[in-house]
Protein backbone atom coordinates (compact mmCIF):
# COMPACT_ATOMS: atom_id res chain seq x y z
CA UNK A 1 0.00 0.00 0.00
CA UNK A 2 2.61 2.60 -0.85
CA UNK A 3 1.70 6.24 -0.57
CA UNK A 4 -1.76 5.68 0.87
CA UNK A 5 -3.33 6.73 4.17
CA UNK A 6 -4.37 3.16 4.94
CA UNK A 7 -1.34 2.50 7.13
CA UNK A 8 -2.48 5.28 9.44
CA UNK A 9 -5.74 3.52 10.37
CA UNK A 10 -4.13 1.06 12.78
CA UNK A 11 -1.94 3.91 14.05
CA UNK A 12 -5.02 5.95 14.98
CA UNK A 13 -6.42 2.99 16.89
CA UNK A 14 -3.13 2.44 18.72
CA UNK A 15 -2.97 6.16 19.58
CA UNK A 16 -6.50 6.15 20.97
CA UNK A 17 -5.66 3.29 23.30
CA UNK A 18 -2.10 4.21 24.28
CA UNK A 19 -2.53 8.02 24.35
CA UNK A 20 0.73 9.72 25.41
CA UNK A 21 2.66 6.43 25.37
CA UNK A 22 2.53 6.49 21.56
CA UNK A 23 3.31 9.18 19.00
CA UNK A 24 1.10 9.13 15.92
CA UNK A 25 3.41 11.67 14.28
CA UNK A 26 6.46 9.41 14.67
CA UNK A 27 4.38 6.43 13.50
CA UNK A 28 3.36 8.41 10.41
CA UNK A 29 6.94 9.52 9.79
CA UNK A 30 7.99 5.85 9.94
CA UNK A 31 5.41 5.09 7.22
CA UNK A 32 6.99 7.73 4.99
CA UNK A 33 10.52 6.48 5.67
CA UNK A 34 9.41 2.94 4.78
CA UNK A 35 8.14 4.01 1.38
CA UNK A 36 11.19 5.99 0.25
CA UNK A 37 12.74 2.87 -1.31
CA UNK A 38 9.58 1.92 -3.28
CA UNK A 39 9.28 5.55 -4.38
CA UNK A 40 12.81 5.43 -5.76
CA UNK A 41 11.97 2.23 -7.66
CA UNK A 42 8.84 3.84 -9.11
CA UNK A 43 10.82 6.92 -10.17
CA UNK A 44 13.82 5.10 -11.64
CA UNK A 45 12.31 1.80 -12.73
CA UNK A 46 15.26 0.04 -11.09
CA UNK A 47 15.12 -2.40 -8.21
CA UNK A 48 12.46 -4.43 -6.46
CA UNK A 49 9.37 -2.46 -5.45
CA UNK A 50 9.21 -4.00 -1.99
CA UNK A 51 12.84 -4.85 -1.43
CA UNK A 52 15.01 -4.93 1.67
CA UNK A 53 13.21 -1.99 3.25
CA UNK A 54 10.08 -4.12 3.41
CA UNK A 55 11.62 -6.93 5.44
CA UNK A 56 11.58 -7.03 9.23
CA UNK A 57 15.35 -6.63 9.20
CA UNK A 58 15.08 -3.58 6.96
CA UNK A 59 12.17 -2.28 9.05
CA UNK A 60 14.34 -2.55 12.16
CA UNK A 61 17.04 -0.39 10.59
CA UNK A 62 14.51 2.08 9.22
CA UNK A 63 12.77 2.33 12.61
CA UNK A 64 16.05 3.54 14.09
CA UNK A 65 16.43 6.08 11.26
CA UNK A 66 12.80 7.18 11.65
CA UNK A 67 13.17 7.54 15.42
CA UNK A 68 16.26 9.74 15.28
CA UNK A 69 15.20 11.85 12.33
CA UNK A 70 11.58 12.08 13.45
CA UNK A 71 12.32 13.26 16.96
CA UNK A 72 14.60 16.03 15.78
CA UNK A 73 12.37 17.05 12.86
CA UNK A 74 9.31 17.33 15.08
CA UNK A 75 11.17 19.28 17.73
CA UNK A 76 12.57 21.64 15.06
CA UNK A 77 9.07 22.16 13.61
CA UNK A 78 7.60 22.87 17.04
CA UNK A 79 10.44 25.28 17.85
CA UNK A 80 9.89 27.12 14.56
CA UNK A 81 6.21 27.47 15.44
CA UNK A 82 7.10 28.69 18.92
CA UNK A 83 5.16 25.86 20.56
CA UNK A 84 7.99 23.62 21.75
CA UNK A 85 8.42 23.36 25.51
CA UNK A 86 11.22 20.94 26.50
CA UNK A 87 9.67 20.57 29.97
CA UNK A 88 6.38 19.35 28.50
CA UNK A 89 7.80 17.24 25.66
CA UNK A 90 6.58 13.96 27.14
CA UNK A 91 5.18 12.82 23.80
CA UNK A 92 8.66 12.80 22.34
CA UNK A 93 10.67 10.92 24.95
CA UNK A 94 13.12 8.47 23.42
CA UNK A 95 11.05 5.57 24.75
CA UNK A 96 7.88 6.81 23.03
CA UNK A 97 9.75 7.77 19.86
CA UNK A 98 11.45 4.38 19.45
CA UNK A 99 8.30 2.44 20.36
CA UNK A 100 6.24 4.42 17.84
CA UNK A 101 8.85 4.13 15.08
CA UNK A 102 9.22 0.38 15.52
CA UNK A 103 5.47 -0.14 15.64
CA UNK A 104 5.18 1.98 12.50
CA UNK A 105 7.75 0.08 10.46
CA UNK A 106 6.69 -3.37 11.67
CA UNK A 107 2.98 -2.81 11.02
CA UNK A 108 3.94 -1.45 7.61
CA UNK A 109 5.71 -4.71 6.73
CA UNK A 110 2.84 -6.75 8.15
CA UNK A 111 0.14 -4.93 6.19
CA UNK A 112 2.12 -4.89 2.94
CA UNK A 113 2.95 -8.59 3.34
CA UNK A 114 -0.74 -9.42 3.13
CA UNK A 115 -1.23 -7.83 -0.28
CA UNK A 116 2.07 -7.65 -2.18
CA UNK A 117 3.39 -10.76 -3.91
CA UNK A 118 6.94 -9.41 -4.12
CA UNK A 119 7.27 -9.15 -0.34
CA UNK A 120 9.78 -11.32 1.54
CA UNK A 121 9.14 -10.08 5.09
CA UNK A 122 11.38 -12.59 6.86
CA UNK A 123 14.35 -12.33 4.48
CA UNK A 124 17.13 -13.49 4.92
CA UNK A 125 15.72 -16.20 7.21
CA UNK A 126 12.96 -17.18 4.79
CA UNK A 127 12.04 -16.10 1.29
CA UNK A 128 8.40 -17.20 1.29
CA UNK A 129 5.63 -14.84 2.30
CA UNK A 130 3.04 -16.89 4.16
CA UNK A 131 0.96 -13.82 4.90
CA UNK A 132 0.16 -13.12 1.26
CA UNK A 133 -3.57 -13.38 0.72
CA UNK A 134 -4.64 -14.13 4.31
CA UNK A 135 -7.10 -11.29 3.70
CA UNK A 136 -8.38 -9.97 0.41
CA UNK A 137 -7.19 -6.51 -0.54
CA UNK A 138 -10.72 -5.25 0.11
CA UNK A 139 -10.73 -6.83 3.60
CA UNK A 140 -7.33 -5.35 4.33
CA UNK A 141 -8.44 -1.88 3.27
CA UNK A 142 -11.61 -2.26 5.35
CA UNK A 143 -9.58 -3.31 8.38
CA UNK A 144 -7.32 -0.29 8.02
CA UNK A 145 -10.23 2.09 7.41
CA UNK A 146 -12.40 0.77 10.21
CA UNK A 147 -9.51 0.73 12.67
CA UNK A 148 -8.87 4.39 11.81
CA UNK A 149 -12.51 5.36 12.32
CA UNK A 150 -12.69 3.39 15.57
CA UNK A 151 -9.45 5.00 16.71
CA UNK A 152 -10.79 8.50 16.02
CA UNK A 153 -14.03 7.76 17.89
CA UNK A 154 -12.19 6.36 20.92
CA UNK A 155 -9.73 9.26 20.89
CA UNK A 156 -12.53 11.84 20.83
CA UNK A 157 -14.40 10.03 23.61
CA UNK A 158 -11.26 10.00 25.75
CA UNK A 159 -10.70 13.72 25.11
CA UNK A 160 -14.30 14.50 26.05
CA UNK A 161 -14.02 12.42 29.22
CA UNK A 162 -10.77 14.12 30.23
CA UNK A 163 -12.27 17.55 29.52
CA UNK A 164 -15.36 16.65 31.58
CA UNK A 165 -13.18 15.52 34.52
CA UNK A 166 -11.16 18.73 34.44
Q: For residues 80 and 92, what is the distance between their CA atoms, to the nearest angstrom?
A: 16
Q: Which H or E run contains 32?
A: helix 24-34
Burial of residue 162, with CB atoms counted within 10 A of its CB: 0-12 exposed, 13-18 middle, 19 or more buried: exposed
Q: For residues 137 and 1, what is the distance between their CA atoms, to the nearest angstrom?
A: 10
Q: For residues 45 and 24, what is the distance between their CA atoms, to the nearest angstrom?
A: 32
Between 104 and 164, the more confident residue is: 104
Q: For residues 136 and 27, what is the distance between their CA atoms, to the nearest angstrom?
A: 25
- Which 8-state DSSP code applies to residue 134? S
Q: What is the pLDDT of residues 14-48, one digit of tens each?
A: 999 999 899 999 999 999 999 999 999 999 999 98
Handedness of CA 152, 15, 3, 89 (dihedral sign): positive
User: What is this structure's pTM?
Assistant: 0.90
Q: What is the pLDDT of residues 43-76, one digit of tens each?
A: 999 998 999 999 999 999 999 999 999 999 988 8
Q: What is the pLDDT of residues 131-151, one digit of tens each?
A: 999 999 999 999 999 999 999
Please state, in angstroms and as integers, the Cα–Cα distance from residue 137 to each residue in 1, 48, 59, 81, 94, following that order: 10, 21, 22, 40, 35
Neighbouring C-beta atoms of residue 164, cutoff 10 Å? 7
Amino acid sequence: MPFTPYHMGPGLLIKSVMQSSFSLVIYGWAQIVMDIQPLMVLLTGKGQLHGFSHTYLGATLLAIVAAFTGKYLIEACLKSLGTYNPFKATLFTWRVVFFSAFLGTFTHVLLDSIMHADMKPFYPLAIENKLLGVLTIEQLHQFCGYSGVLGMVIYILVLLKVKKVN
